Structure 1
Amino acid sequence: MIGGGDPQGAWTYVAPMIAIIVIVLRGVRTRKLRIERMWIMPALILLVVGITLGLQPPRRFAVLVAEVFALGVGLGMGWWRGRTTNIMIDAATHELTSRSSPIGMALIASLFLIRFALKDYATLHARELHVAAGDIAEVFLLMAAGLICAQRLEMWIRARRLLAQARAAP
Structure 2
Amino acid sequence: MQQRPDTLVTYAITAVVLAIVLAIRWRRTGRALPLRIERLWILPAILGVAVIASFASAPPHGIAWLFCASAMLLGAALGWQRGRMMRIDVDPVTHRLSQTSSPAALVLILAIVVLRQAARAEGAAVLHLDPIALSDMLLALAFGLIAAQRLEMFLRARRLLREAIPR
**Structure 1 residue 9, shift from structure 2 partner:** 4.1
**Structure 1 residue 54, shift from structure 2 partner:** 1.2
Equivalent position of 1:74 in the other structure: 75
Counterpart Cα distance in 1 of 2:148 and 2:111 = 18
Equivalent position of 2:154 in the other structure: 156
Counterpart Cα distance in 1 of 2:43 and 2:11 = 31
Equivalent position of 1:49 in the other structure: 51
Query: TM-score when scaled to structure 2?
Result: 0.87
- What is the identity, as a one-letter code, of the residue corresponding to 2:149? Q
- What is the identity, as a one-letter code, of the residue corresponding to 1:43? A
Taking every aligned residue pair, what percent have the same amino acid on both sides? 36
Correspondence for 1:34 among 33, 36, 42? 36
How do 1:117-136 and structure 2 match up within 5 A? 117-122=118-123, 125=125, 129-136=127-134
- Structure 1 residues 108-117 or 38-47, which shifts more? 108-117
Distance 1:16 1:164, change over 3 A: same
Contact 1:16 1:113 in 2 (8 A): no
* 3-state secondary structure, aligned to 1:134: helix
Q: Deviations over 1:86-145 (max 9, x none)?
A: 00010100110001122222212212212222223235x4xx643211111010111011
* 3-state secondary structure, aligned to 1:87: strand
Equivalent position of 1:165 in the other structure: 163
Matched pairs, number: 163
Calculate the aligned-residue CA RMSD, in Å.
Answer: 2.0
Equivalent position of 1:105 in the other structure: 106
Counterpart Cα distance in 1 of 2:121 and 2:20 = 17
**Structure 1 residue 149, shift from structure 2 partner:** 0.4
Counterpart Cα distance in 1 of 2:127 and 2:106 = 32
Contact 1:29 1:99 in 2 (8 A): yes
Equivalent position of 1:17 in the other structure: 19
- What is the identity, as a one-letter code, of the residue corresponding to 1:131? L
Contact 1:70 1:139 in 2 (8 A): yes
- What is the identity, as a one-letter code, of the residue corresponding to 2:120? K
Question: 5+ residue gaps in structure 1?
Answer: none
